[in-house]
Amino acid sequence: MAENLSGKALATAIRADVAERAAKLTASGVTPALAIVVATDDDGTLWYVRSIVKAAEKVGVRAVIHTVENPTVEAIAATLTELAADDGTHGIILQTPLPKGVSLTDLAHLIPAAKDIDGASPVSAGNLVIGTPAFAPATAEACLELLAHHGVPLSGKRAVVIGRSAVVGKPVAQLLLRADATVTVTHSRTVDLPAVARTAEVLVVAIGRADFVTAEHVAPGAVVIDVGTNTAADGSLVGDVEAASVDGVAGVLSPVPGGVGPVTTALLLRHAVAAAEGGF
Amino acid sequence: MAENLSGKALATAIRADVAERAAKLTASGVTPALAIVVATDDDGTLWYVRSIVKAAEKVGVRAVIHTVENPTVEAIAATLTELAADDGTHGIILQTPLPKGVSLTDLAHLIPAAKDIDGASPVSAGNLVIGTPAFAPATAEACLELLAHHGVPLSGKRAVVIGRSAVVGKPVAQLLLRADATVTVTHSRTVDLPAVARTAEVLVVAIGRADFVTAEHVAPGAVVIDVGTNTAADGSLVGDVEAASVDGVAGVLSPVPGGVGPVTTALLLRHAVAAAEGGF
C-alpha cells in the first residue's frame, strides 16, 4: 500500500497561520476580504463556493459571494471591474464554470494581479513563467506544498504532468520546473501515455476524468498527486486516479478527497491575507 | 548526413510578405516603425541591432535605435514609457544584455502587449500560456515556423527542450505544447540529460553553450533545432550543437548560422508590421 499523502494536517497548519495574520490585520483596522464572483447555478459549484465562505469565516477572512444575474460577458466584466476598484476587496476569485459562450480568457485580465488570488489573469500566468512575484493558481500551488510538506525532493527528479489546462496542468508544470524538476507535460494527443507516465518519479494527474490513471501509468515507488475532483454516479467525489489499482504500485499517493483539495482552499485564504497585507 | 533545416528560404518568404504589408501601410499613411532600446555597448549586440535596422529598411519598416546613456533602471524605464505612449512607434524591443544589476523582469512590463513584438512582457508570456493572442518571443516562434516550413509534424511527437530561459526555452515549450507535442523541459539540474534528450523525436537546444549537445544526446533520425548563438574564439558564430558529431545521427538539423537566426529577424519585422496593422 502506498503512503497516504494527506493534505489535512498541512491545510490545518496553513489555516492557523492565516488566522493569526488575519487577526493582526483586523486589529490594525483592515479586515481581509475576498470576493467570489459566481455566474452559474450549478449545484456542485454553489456547494464548493459556500465551503470556501465557511472556511474563510473560521479564520477571520470575510468572503462575499457576488452572484451575477443574467451573466453575460458584459455583466460579469462590470462586476469584476467594480471589485477591482473596491479598496475593501483584497482578493477576487472568478469561479468556474462560466456560462456557455463566456470564456475565462475574456474576463480574467480584468482581475488586477495584486487581487488575483487564484492566479487566473494573464499577468499572473506570465509572472509565474518569468519568475516574478505573483499568485499561482491555488490548486497548482497546493500540489507543490503537499510535496514539500511530505518531504518529497524535486530537484533533478523526473516529473510528468497529465493534463495541460491553464488552471492546473500548465502552472503546476511551471512550479515543478522552478523547483528544478525535469518536467514533461502530457495530454490527450500524447502517444503511449502509460509509457510516458511510467518515466515519472513524481506524477501529477489533472486530466479531469474519473479513474483515468491506473497501475499501468505508474512506476513502482512513484509519488502520485491526484488533482481530480470528479463526481461519481452516487454523488461522491472521486479523483482522476483509480486508487484501488495504483495503491499497490505507487510509493506515495494523495487521496481524493483529503489530498490536494483542503490545501487548495487553505491557500486561497492565505493568498487573500497576503493580498490584504499588500504582498503575494 | 542530416537534412539541412535552413531558415534562409523561409526568412526570404516572410520578408517578402512583410514588405508587401509595409508598402500597403505606408500607402495608407502609416509607416510601420519599431524601436530598439539599447543599454549596452557590447560590440556583438550593437552589430546585431544594426543588422535588424538594415533588414527593416529593406522591407520598408522604420527601425530606430534608442541608446540609453547612463542606463539605470530609471533611465531605461523612462525611455520605454515614452515609446509606449508614442503613436508613431508600433513595436518596441528591449535589447539584452542589460547592464549589471538591471533585469529584464524589472522593465519588460513597461512594454504594452500591443507593442511587445519580442514577447518580453509578463502579459505576453501569460497570454502565450493561456492561449489568447499575443506576440511570442521571436526566437521561440522561429523554431516552430522552421519546423512547419520543412513539414515536420508535431502532434503527438515527443519534444525535448534543453534550456528553460524565459526568452527561449519556456516559450518554445508552450508553442510545442500548443502544437500538440508531448513536451519535456530539461536544464542544468536534469539527471542524465543525454538519456532524456534521446527520447526526443524533436530536440530544441537553447542552453547557450557552444557545442554542448553531441551525438550522445540525439536519437537516430531525430529533428534537431539549434537555437544557440555563441561566439567562438575566432569570432565566428557557433551553435549549441556540435554539428560535426550530431550530423551523423540526426535526421534533420538546423544550421548555425542560417537556421533559426534569419527567421527570428524576419519574424520581428512581421510582428512590427502586424502591430502597425493593429493586430498580433
SS (H, E, C) A70-94: CCCHHHHHHHHHHHHHCCCCCEEEE
CA separation for the pair B238, B227 (Å, rounded)? 10
Nearest one of B168, B163, B160, B166 to B140, comparing CA atoms: B168
Residue with the three cell numbers 487566473: A120
For residue B257, whether the previous peptide bond is cis, meaning omega lies within 30 degrees of 0, is yes
Structural domains of chain B, with CATH: 29-111 (3.40.50.10860), 138-261 (3.40.50.720)
CA separation for the pair B210, B238 (Å, rounded)? 6
CA separation for the pair B256, B239 (Å, rounded)? 5
Contact B158, B199 (CB under 8 A): yes
Contacts of B196 in chain A (CB under 8 A): 158, 182
CA separation for the pair A141, A161 (Å, rounded)? 14
Residue with the three cell numbers 499613411: B29
Contacts of A158 in chain B (CB under 8 A): 191, 196
Contacts of A134 in chain B (CB under 8 A): 122
The reply to whether residue B131 touches residue A191, judged by beta carbons under 8 angstroms, is: no
The reply to whether residue B183 touches residue A185, judged by beta carbons under 8 angstroms, is: yes
Confidence of residue B44 (pLDDT cuts 50, 70, 90): confident
Binding-site residues of A, in ranges, read 163-165, 229
pLDDT in tens, B216-255: 999 999 999 999 999 999 989 999 999 999 999 999 999 9
Residue with the three cell numbers 479564520: A59
Terminal CA-to-CA distance of chain B, rounded, Å? 38
When CB atoms are compared, the residue of A109, A130, A156 closest to B166 is A130
Contact A71, A41 (CB under 8 A): no
CA within 13 Å, CB half, A266? 24
pLDDT in tens, A129-161: 999 999 999 999 999 999 999 999 999 999 999
Average pLDDT, chain B: 97
pLDDT score for A235: 87
- Number of Cβ within 10 Å of residue B234's Cβ equals 6
Average pLDDT, chain A: 97
Contact A271, A124 (CB under 8 A): no
pLDDT in tens, B110-151: 999 999 999 999 999 999 999 999 999 999 999 999 999 999
Binding-site residues of B for NADP(+), in ranges, read 163-165, 229
The DSSP annotation for A89-133 comes to --EEEEPSPPPTT--HHHHGGGS-GGG-TT--SHHHHHHHHHT-S
pLDDT in tens, B62-89: 999 999 999 999 999 999 999 999 999 9
CA separation for the pair B250, A56 (Å, rounded)? 57
When CB atoms are compared, the residue of A124, A127, A164 closest to B177 is A164
CA separation for the pair A227, A239 (Å, rounded)? 7
- Number of Cβ within 10 Å of residue A58's Cβ equals 12
Residues in chain B: 280
Cell of B166: 524565459
Q: How far is CA B238 from the centre of its chain?
A: 16
Residue B2 has pLDDT above 90, yes or no: yes
Confidence of residue B16 (pLDDT cuts 50, 70, 90): very high
Residue with the three cell numbers 493561456: B130
Contacts of B173 in chain A (CB under 8 A): 185
CA separation for the pair A56, A32 (Å, rounded)? 10
Q: How far is CA B67 from the centre of its chain?
A: 21
Minimal Cα–Cα distance from B113 to chain A, Å? 11
Minimal Cα–Cα distance from B171 to chain A, Å? 9
Cell of A238: 472521486
Residue B156 carries which DSSP code? Answer: T
The reply to whether residue A156 touches residue B190, judged by beta carbons under 8 angstroms, is: yes
Residue B86 carries which DSSP code? Answer: -
Minimal Cα–Cα distance from A139 to chain B, Å? 16
pLDDT score for A78: 98
Q: Which helix (H) or strand (E) holds B190?
A: none
Minimal Cα–Cα distance from B192 to chain A, Å? 9
- Spans of chain A below 70 pLDDT: none
Binding-site residues of A for NADP(+), in ranges, read 163-165, 229
CA separation for the pair B120, B108 (Å, rounded)? 6
Nearest one of B184, B180, B126 to B157, comparing CA atoms: B180
When CB atoms are compared, the residue of A130, A166, A190 closest to B105 is A130
Give A95's contacts (C-beta < 8 A, 6+ positions apart): A36, A37, A38, A39, A40, A45, A48, A49
